[in-house]
A and B are shown apart, each in its own frame.
Chain A
């Protein structure tokens, strides 16, 4: 890590749970509520049990390696990483050592900067240790073997990241790619990372086992600040491992080891070597789905979208798909604008999960069609989408039942305006004196009275006309 003498150098070792239905080496389910309800002799490490590789997990890991532009090894095998720990059912982890699935790939950040990928390999998750009353307060610890044997793909980067924000960008790009490959689900799978940090070419510190993208960014922010602070005070940075405490948002030194970890890797001979031909690897690459960067480019070209909107749509797998469906039925630019602004605003504000909403593109298309034919106002369209996302009410029903189509005559609108003006004399007087706020207030009143069935612009013009005329 010493090649760069200044600035911050960050390298990540990411562990991502793959969303296979069954575990890596046995037929147990990967999703289970009740502790220790999804385990068998294999994931409990019983004597006599043998691992059998889950072909789907292998396929997923190969897809990841290919999508990260790695060299895929034609021949690779599994190894035993041996160390004693209560979460390890066999006191060794089946992982990959000498020859992983993939080597030397890259991920492109949103800024265009390329981050080199050192390796991609497949391994098993250990069991989960549960400290019921928190790590410090518990005088005992429970082990949940439901997690034991869940497939993990480990993605190791070179120390090419130069800030916590870049690390976050990297993880965003990575998880987008993984969700495009349909190998990872943010709702059911966890992402953890060991974060290596050094500043100004000083000693490297590893912050172990940080959970989640936000966690990584925060742990790195603290750690970078801590190290810079030490240097400012002429103190030395001690090489070692630290743990991130999510409650205090700080990192703490864990027990320092006198020597490097020695896992005594040997070949896992209960599993066989996996072979692929050049042709098979080529085919794997060809069969990869279109990824977000390519999709964004296509959106720009096919639908004349601006770069920002295209990226927002493509970076979210579900949103991108939704857009493509809707764009077939409606004016694409308008659809893109509505989805990225109105729909995503609701998703973010109400903290919804777009994947689990399972929206029907037909419903949104219908809504957009009547909006563009000016049969409803934008305000009504917004309300309709809120109702659809938060309550599941179909937009057309929402409009019909509420009688929200633009069915007011000019006389109706004029009547409504006159009523509001006569009931709000003070506001009218203020507006006449040039107080713009009063205009908004009055328009709002009319909108409310007409249940937003009239465009605010028309109301505004009418108010001005009345005031000037009167």
Chain B
């Protein structure tokens, strides 16, 4: 089957009048609806609003009003990102019926460039998972497009799965806290880009952990994902942590073969041998193409990354989830009796098991008496881990390591893992996420017929270097 047009090709054809946006939108909606019966990539397919938007844009093109870098491009959006007027649940039963009054800034920016939102993609409830199997009560877990017995990876599983499966031009807006873009990109064999913390506004993102959450992009190619990231980046007055940097032309960066590349020793060591082998092969090729390769050690990140990440993220998550109590939006029942008992009743019914686990863990980590030993210490460790990265970037452009230590596991394999073992799977993705560093996952090989992803990490705001390297890695295939 022929590869779908890239975003740029698609937009060029649309402008020439060779593609009807309405027809293309119809096609991809049909594809989403049909595949959803089996694969469950969407929590909601926004047929009516997508078609309405498509018709408006098409009419606009005829009168010369619409230009846009994403003119008529269908985008899928992770469920935790608010889209005005479209039920947005972050994969949780407790947000059943919540229809945001406003769209996330990332959505507004994409829309301003002509993108069409086709639906909300499946995810682990609030992003709490590595395999997209921790879906909320009443939600279906998405299946890997290459093997339905396997998971998509999480938490942006629906985004990655549909990006891989779709035969049409499409890109997806995902979100990462500890690796939720890179992981499913790796497991499904697509490209996932996570920007520097603060580059893309979090306004309109249903929080998991505010100091870690980043909105990013997933697509079939580096160019597609980079173009979407270019569009959604930039300062936003509604998010106090948003940065003033723009990422102009990120979608038009050329590959670079003479980058200084660091191989992260410890993060290789923790991975399955075949995964290591596939990544080594790619790096060897990269070296032959002209990259300077050296081994880098990040001992602190390897040793303390996961612990620091789970303490900080669950502490923040436990406060973020406090607002869900059945009073103002989402799941609610008849408001009666003692408020404490009512809140408990709604929260017991609305949250899934992993959400409850993380609320408990996070609440414990910030309680008086434990706060110093856990939450505050983790915050201090985090500062040290960032410093370790900064030292590494003094002499190199990008760091490389496998994205995930394994290929996508089967659901039966996942069931055998304890929560701790599941958390340990985030070994490679957590450090860059904890440090807020931009990173990409690019498919580079196959093991057991399943894709293997290579993770490329750049220094803060060095998204261009990240994309240059990602394009070079992509070119090796």
Q: Which positions in A face B, CB cutoff 8 Å?
A: 41, 44-53, 80, 82, 84-86, 89-92, 260, 262, 264-272
- Within the complex, what minimum Cβ distance (angstroms) separates B2 from chain A? 39
- Within the complex, what minimum Cβ distance (angstroms) separates A153 from chain B? 20
CB-contact partner of A46 in B100, B205, B325, B367, under 8 A: B100
Assess whether B241 is interfacial by the CB under 8 Å rule.
yes
Knowing A82-B322, A90-B323 are in contact, say whether A46-B101 is a contact too (CB < 8 A): yes
Knowing A47-B323, A82-B322, A92-B322 are in contact, say whether A265-B371 is a contact too (CB < 8 A): yes
- Within the complex, what minimum Cβ distance (angstroms) separates B104 from chain A? 6
- CB-based contact B203/A92 at 8 Å: no
| A260, A262, A269, most chain B CB atoms within 10 A | A269
Question: When chains A and B are docked, how far (Å) is the Cα of A84 from the Cα of B81?
Answer: 25
- CB-based contact B367/A264 at 8 Å: yes
- CB-based contact B102/A266 at 8 Å: no
CB-contact partner of A50 in B238, B319, B323, B379, under 8 A: B238
CB-contact partner of A47 in B95, B210, B241, B325, under 8 A: B95
Which chain A positions have C-beta within 8 A of B88? 47-48
Question: When chains A and B are docked, how far (Å) is the Cα of A52 from the Cα of B240?
Answer: 6
Knowing A47-B95, A47-B98 are in contact, say whether A52-B237 is a contact too (CB < 8 A): yes
- CB-based contact B323/A269 at 8 Å: no
Contact with A along B76-118 (1 / 0, CB 8 A): 0000011000001010000100101110100000000000000
CB-contact partner of B368 in A53, A260, A266, A271, under 8 A: A260
Assess whether B206 is interfacial by the CB under 8 Å rule.
yes
- CB-based contact A48/B204 at 8 Å: yes
Knowing A47-B329, A50-B240, A265-B371 are in contact, say whether A90-B322 is a contact too (CB < 8 A): yes
Knowing A48-B102, A48-B205, A267-B211 are in contact, say whether A272-B240 is a contact too (CB < 8 A): yes
Question: Besides A47-B88, A47-B90, A270-B207, 14 other CB < 8 A contacts?
Answer: A41-B101, A47-B82, A47-B207, A48-B102, A48-B204, A52-B238, A82-B319, A89-B323, A91-B322, A262-B368, A266-B316, A267-B379, A269-B316, A272-B241
CB-contact partner of A86 in B101, B210, B327, under 8 A: B327
- CB-based contact A264/B368 at 8 Å: yes
Which chain B positions have C-beta within 8 A of A265? 366, 371
Which chain B positions have C-beta within 8 A of A91? 322-323, 325
Question: When chains A and B are docked, how far (Å) is the Cα of A91 from the Cα of B375?
Answer: 20
Question: When chains A and B are docked, how far (Å) is the Cα of A45 from the Cα of B321?
Answer: 11
Q: Which residue in chain A gives the minimum CB-CB distance to B92? A: A47
Assess whether B147 is interfacial by the CB under 8 Å rule.
no
Enumerate B115-129 residues with CB–CB distance to A below 8 Å: none
- CB-based contact B240/A270 at 8 Å: yes
- CB-based contact B240/A262 at 8 Å: no
- CB-based contact A51/B323 at 8 Å: no
Assess whether B464 is interfacial by the CB under 8 Å rule.
no
Main secondary structure of the interface of A (DSSP, over half): loop
Which chain B positions have C-beta within 8 A of A92? 319, 322-323
Assess whether B328 is interfacial by the CB under 8 Å rule.
yes
Question: When chains A and B are docked, how far (Å) is the Cα of A212 from the Cα of B387?
Answer: 50
Which chain B positions have C-beta within 8 A of A53? 240
Knowing A50-B202, A84-B343, A264-B368 are in contact, say whether A45-B210 is a contact too (CB < 8 A): no
Which chain B positions have C-beta within 8 A of A268? 210
Q: Which positions in B face A, CB cutoff 8 Å?
A: 81-82, 88, 90, 95, 98, 100-102, 104, 202-207, 210-211, 237-241, 315-316, 318-319, 322-325, 327-329, 339-340, 343, 363, 366-368, 371, 375, 379
Knowing A47-B95, A264-B363, A264-B366 are in contact, say whether A269-B241 is a contact too (CB < 8 A): yes
Which chain A positions have C-beta within 8 A of B329? 46-47
Interchain residue pairs with CB less than 8 A apart (20):
A45-B328, A47-B88, A48-B204, A48-B207, A82-B319, A82-B322, A82-B366, A85-B339, A86-B327, A89-B323, A92-B323, A264-B318, A264-B366, A264-B371, A265-B366, A266-B316, A268-B210, A269-B241, A270-B202, A272-B240
Question: When chains A and B are docked, how far (Å) is the Cα of A89 from the Cα of B322?
Answer: 10
Which chain B positions have C-beta within 8 A of A44? 328
- Within the complex, what minimum Cβ distance (angstroms) separates A173 from chain B? 34
Question: When chains A and B are docked, how far (Å) is the Cα of A272 from the Cα of B101?
Answer: 25
Which chain A positions have C-beta within 8 A of B343? 84
Which chain B positions have C-beta within 8 A of A85? 339
- CB-based contact A41/B210 at 8 Å: no
Which chain A positions have C-beta within 8 A of B323? 45, 47, 89-92
Question: When chains A and B are docked, how far (Å) is the Cα of A272 from the Cα of B316?
Answer: 15
Question: When chains A and B are docked, how far (Å) is the Cα of A48 from the Cα of B330?
Answer: 13
The 5 closest A-B pairs by CB, nearest first: A91-B322, A269-B211, A264-B366, A48-B82, A47-B206
Which chain B positions have C-beta within 8 A of A80? 319
- CB-based contact A50/B203 at 8 Å: yes
Question: When chains A and B are docked, how far (Å) is the Cα of A68 from the Cα of B420?
Answer: 51
- CB-based contact A266/B366 at 8 Å: yes
- CB-based contact B339/A48 at 8 Å: no
- CB-based contact B104/A48 at 8 Å: yes
Which chain B positions have C-beta within 8 A of A50? 202-203, 238-240
- CB-based contact B206/A51 at 8 Å: no
Q: Which residue in chain A gives the minimum CB-CB distance to B342? A: A86
Q: Which residue in chain A gives the minimum CB-CB distance to B95? A: A47
- CB-based contact A47/B100 at 8 Å: yes
Which chain A positions have C-beta within 8 A of B81? 48
Knowing A47-B329, A82-B319, A264-B368 are in contact, say whether A270-B339 is a contact too (CB < 8 A): no
- Within the complex, what minimum Cβ distance (angstroms) separates B89 from chain A? 9
Q: Which residue in chain A gives the minimum CB-CB distance to B210? A: A269
Which chain A positions have C-beta within 8 A of B327? 86
Question: When chains A and B are docked, how far (Å) is the Cα of A260 from the Cα of B368?
Answer: 10
- Within the complex, what minimum Cβ distance (angstroms) separates A343 from chain B? 48
CB-contact partner of B315 in A86, A90, A266, A272, under 8 A: A266
Question: When chains A and B are docked, how far (Å) is the Cα of A269 from the Cα of B102?
Answer: 22
- Within the complex, what minimum Cβ distance (angstroms) separates A94 from chain B? 10
- CB-based contact B206/A48 at 8 Å: yes
Q: Which residue in chain B gives the minimum CB-CB distance to A269? A: B211
Q: Which residue in chain B gives the minimum CB-CB distance to A268? A: B210
Question: When chains A and B are docked, how far (Å) is the Cα of A48 from the Cα of B86?
Answer: 13
Question: When chains A and B are docked, how far (Å) is the Cα of A388 from the Cα of B256?
Answer: 82
- CB-based contact B241/A270 at 8 Å: yes
Which chain B positions have C-beta within 8 A of A82? 318-319, 322, 366
Question: When chains A and B are docked, how far (Å) is the Cα of A89 from the Cα of B203?
Answer: 18
Knowing A47-B100, A264-B367, A265-B371 are in contact, say whether A84-B210 is a contact too (CB < 8 A): no
Q: Which residue in chain B gives the minimum CB-CB distance to A261? A: B368
Question: When chains A and B are docked, how far (Å) is the Cα of A90 from the Cα of B207?
Answer: 12
Which chain B positions have C-beta within 8 A of A41? 100-102
Question: When chains A and B are docked, how far (Å) is the Cα of A84 from the Cα of B95?
Answer: 18
